[in-house]
Structure 1
Amino acid sequence: MTSRTTPRPAARTPRFRPHPAQVVAAAFATTILIGTGLLMLPIATPGVGGASFLDAIFTATSAVCVTGLIVVDTATRWSAFGQVVILLLIQIGGLGIMTFASVIGLAVMRKLSLRSRITAAAEAKSVGLDDVKGLVFGVVRMTLVIEASVALLLGLRFLIGYGEPLGRAVWLGAFHAVSSFNNAGFALFSDNLISYATDPFICLPIAAAVILGGLGFPVIVQLRRHLRMPRKWNMNTRLVLAGTLILLVGGTVYITAVEWSNPATLGPLDWPNKLLVGFFQSVQARTAGFNSVDTGAMDSASLLGTDILMLIGGGPAGTAGGIKITTFGVLFFILLAEVRGDTAVNVFGKRLSRAVHRQAITIVLLAVAVVTASTAALMVMTDISMDKLLFEVISAFGTVGLSTGITAGLPEAGKVILMLLMFIGRLGPITFASALALRDRPTAYELPKERPIIG
């Protein structure tokens, strides 16, 4: 009698499930490529022929990463179609690719898959999955309300104050409202906003939109709910608000003082307009990139101060770039605790998690490494002074968009470096590094402790 054995089922090959950071990075890269293709169409540029691949991909990268660095004049190089494409790329990039995809999914399917919720939460820096749907709708609603309000103010000013035709005034208001709230810095004027440097009805609404966008969506949501109850603000909101106020005031005082007598910037202006321009430039250094004076004519000390503001950036989980105010604030309190000899780091009456210490230090070290390596590479390629190259590198990494005017003249390899910096800066150093990792590496053991001599 023969026995019949049942064959074992073949082992299934485990499905590759990309890390959420890899999904976010791929989504941004795909959007940039689509934008590049649209900008290369003949209809995207006036006259005969389309844009070159390098000009198109640099502009698309700058728009999706809400930076504002340009290699061609936005006002003259791109047609109405090309400018609309840039505007859409700014809006999608500012909202976040996965947030935008979630909106489409909710509109079509009326629900979000678990994977979609995880990737949207990873992009939005959300701490939980239950609130992702509400977060997505809240972000979109808030964005549209702020942009519409700023667009109305700007449109009326262009219409009444400068006699622009109604259609042109509406377009100018809408474009600059979207560009400012998303901290993009693209402008539809060849001199950016230098012609409107002393017009508070143009500069102040744009500055307000930049500040709101730079706070980050979680802060705006909490302020909307508990504006008159500061005791309910969490540590993130307190750090962002305190840091924003200190950096705005400090930046305004510093830039205004250094440039006060500079004949190429603030020198010819009376003192109220000097304060307006100094404040506007301090706001833009927070990752927006509009300029109301010639940045290339600013004193080297102003460029260095602006470097610091650009590197710190704005609030997390918003449209701002840089290492973020919260990261800088955490490092400050770590330093303060170490100097005092405290055993724990306390921030606004709460103890800081040790995991946050490691994250903050990691972000800063990665940022310093990326900025240093990129600046050194550009110094090898060009004869441009280090202060201007460093300014351009930090502006790209911080997704700011301020420029001393050297971007268009960089060699092709230099422009590629700036594109990579914009991409890394928009994703965030840790997210970018996580996207490069092949897999998570959980550790099942701990090694014995030992302390080297520090300092």
Structure 2
Amino acid sequence: MRRPAIPAAIAHPVRLLPLSFLALITLGTLLLLMPFARSGGGGPEFMPALFTSTSAVTITGLASVDTSTYWSPAGQGIILFLVQVGGLGIVAMATVLGLFIGGRLGLRTQMVAQVDMHVVSLGEVRPLFRRVAITMLLFQTAVTIMLTARYRATYFDDFGTSLWHGVFHGVMAFNNAGFSLNSDSLVGYAGDGLIILPICVGVFFGAMGFPVLAELFRGWRRPSRWTIHARLTVWGSLFLLGSSAVAFLLLEWGNPDTLGPLSWGQKLVSGLEGGIMPRSGGLNSFDWGGVRGETLTLGTILMFIGGGSASMAGGIKITTFLLLAYVILAELRGDPDVTVGVRRISAPVIRTALTIALLAVMLVTSATMAVMLLSGGTFEDVLFECTSAFATAGLSTGLTPDLPASAQMVLVVLMFVGRVGTIAAASAFVLRRRVPRYHLPEEQPIIG
């Protein structure tokens, strides 16, 4: 039987990606609207269901309601499922399942997967997706085992509860999603290295990106043979981790609302968390509503930068940020080309990086103004919340639950665009393909 043809306006891979995520968000909303998804009496309301579904599918973790009390165990299971599918990517999940059951990949499926995972050639899709599934399973299993053991030994009396908390937070860690089964996230475990450190490790590697993890697996002992993308991601991530952790400790060391009451060892653990979680993790063992203004600004910057490309993290991505830094350096030096190491960066790549950064600035600033007008919140808190939504980071000063539905819808749009990607989201609606038949005369306007 012949399959019905997909309209050309929809079938393009760049458009299929956001449409696939929209479909999963819709499915998640419908599931969360079921009476069994909410704890206690009464059925779930539409706005919490839509907001939670979007936050889960986009692996953000922002919550408009308390996940531990509003949603039933079944509702929490739905959230876990949506985070897992959203983290792997709808197309990636379908492709990996097809590989494991012996199905064949169509060209269109491979092209959509190529857009989602940022692979260079179609031939890389099959082995990459296989590594994606195995990598996720290994990391999540390792973190789950460590967390379950600690929960059982210290915090819970029965193995079932310990395992559920271990699985839930293990999945959230590697997927860089900020949902928690505790109303205060990880505040009850502040300074506990056996809880915080495994979660931080999961978040860090989840934010590296699957192409980088695959390259490190093949040749981590030979950094000189790494690709430029791997070098920028690895060394950039380590630099941001070290510098931001030190800055966080210096700023919050004596703050009675955050690190002040902790011991030296606990402060160091929390400092490491403060250097990792703003990049996209979302889980927190201290109240971001109590940090100093300088720390809030630091967190906003880190969220905007985000993690590695084709990773669980959001933001403009660290490769974009560092490439723009090299562009500035080349301009200051008067170099005709932008070079990283012994490689020249092509003009289309630079133009894409500039486009992503400028679109992100435009989206975050516009959303910040809109939410301020709709809610009356302060600039610092609203900017932090909007950046967290766009960067799919999931951190919050506690403002999100108090926002009106109109302001929460602004965050829903930001989370969706932040997960799908500024370029893919924009291309889905204004996609144009044309080859110019001529070039106009060149002119150089005055800059600066």
TM-score, normalised to structure 1, is 0.95
Amino acid at match of 1:161: T
Q: Distance between the aligned counterparts of 2:277 and 2:417, measured in 1?
A: 20
1:258 equivalenced with 2:251 (yes/no): yes
In structure 2, what is the equivalent of residue 337 of structure 1?
Answer: 330
User: Is it true that 1:373 corresponds to 2:354 in the alignment?
Assistant: no
User: Is the Cα–Cα contact under 8 Å of residues 191 and 265 in structure 2 kept in the other structure?
Assistant: no
Aligned to 1:185: 178
Contact between 2:39 and 2:71, CA under 8 Å: does it hold in 1?
A: yes
Report whether the alignment pairs 1:323 with 2:316: yes
CA deviations 1:105-162 (Å, max 9, x no partner) are: 3345621000000001110011100121111111001100110011001011111122
Q: Give 1:192-231 correspondences, 5 Å limit.
A: 192-231=185-224
Task: Tell me how far 1:60 sits from its aligned partner.
Answer: 0.4
Residue deviations 1:324-348, cap 9 Å, x none? 0000000001111111111111102
Q: Partner residue of 2:56?
A: 63
Q: Please, which moves more after superposition, 201-210 or 223-232?
A: 223-232
In terms of Rg, which structure is larger? 1
Aligned to 1:244: 237
Task: Return the offset for 1:266.
Answer: 1.1
Paired with 2:393 and 2:219, the residues of 1 have a C-alpha distance of 30
Partner residue of 2:131 out of 125, 138, 149: 138
**Match for residue 23 of structure 2?**
30
Q: Which residue of 2 aligns with 1:402?
A: 395
The Cα of 1:246 is off from its aligned counterpart by 1.1
Q: Distance in 2 between matches of 1:60 and 1:76?
A: 16
Matches within 5 A, 1:300-311: 300-311=293-304
Matches within 5 A, 1:70-219: 70-108=63-101, 110-219=103-212
- Residue aligned with 2:232, SS: helix
Deviation digits for residues 168-212 of structure 1 (CA, Å, limit 9, x no counterpart) = 111111110110100001111011000101100000000000000
Gap change, CA 1:123 and 1:294, over 3 Å in 2: same
Indicate the SS of the match to 1:346.
strand
- Give 1:98 shift: 0.9
Q: Is the CA contact 1:281–1:292 (under 8 Å) kept in the aligned structure 2?
A: no
In structure 1, the gaps of 5 or more residues are 1-12
Question: Given residue 76 of structure 1, which amino acid in structure 2 is its aligned partner?
Answer: T
Alpha-carbon contact 2:10-2:16 (below 8 Å) kept: no
Deviation at 1:449, TM superposition (A): 1.3
Equivalent residue, structure 2, for 1:389: 382
Taking a change above 3 Å as real, the CA distance of residues 365 and 134 of structure 1, as seen in their structure-2 partners, is: same
Q: CA separation in 2, counterparts of 1:283 and 1:17?
A: 38
Instruction: For 1:104, give the aligned amino acid.
Output: L
1:215 partner SS: coil
**Matching residue within 269, 281, 288 for 1:276:** 269
The aligned residue for residue 348 of structure 1 is 341
Find the aligned partners of 2:253 and 2:349 in 1 and give their Cα distance.
40
Q: CA–CA distance in 2 between the matches of 1:16 and 1:375?
A: 32
In structure 2, list runs of 5 or more residues that go unmatched: 1-5
Range that drifts further, 225-234 or 326-335:
225-234
CA distance in 2, matches of 1:221, 1:126: 12
Aligned length: 443
Give the stretch that moved more between structures: 149-158 or 259-268. 259-268
Question: Do the aligned residues in 2 keep the contact of 1:392 with 1:402 (CA within 8 Å)?
Answer: yes
Aligned to 2:3: none
Residue matched to 1:313: 306
AA at the equivalent of 1:173: G
1:262 aligned counterpart, secondary structure: coil
With over 3 angstroms needed to count, the CA separation of the structure-2 counterparts of 1:177 and 1:232, relative to structure 1, is same
Amino acid at match of 2:291: M
- C-alpha change, 1:15 and 1:454, in structure 2 (3 Å) is closer
What's the CA shift for 1:14? 8.8
Partner deviation per Cα, 1:348-393 (whole Å, 9 max, x = no partner): 2211111111011101100000011011111111221100000000
Could you tell me how far apart the structure 1 residues matched to 2:431 and 2:104 are?
Answer: 30
Counterpart position of 2:47? 54
Cα pair 1:185 1:401 within 8 Å, conserved: yes
What secondary structure is seen at the aligned counterpart in 2 of 1:130? helix
CA distance in 1, matches of 2:430, 2:65: 35
**Distance in structure 2 (CA, Å) of the matches to 1:32 and 1:112:** 24
Letter in structure 1 aligned against 2:244: G
Of the three residues 262, 266, 281, the one matched with 1:288 is: 281
State the AA in 1 paired with 2:263.
Answer: D
CA distance in 2, matches of 1:15, 1:289: 38
Give, in angstroms, the shift of residue 223 of structure 1: 0.4
Mapped to 2, the partners of 1:448 and 1:198 lie a distance apart of: 63
RMSD of aligned alpha carbons = 1.4
Aligned AA (1:240): T
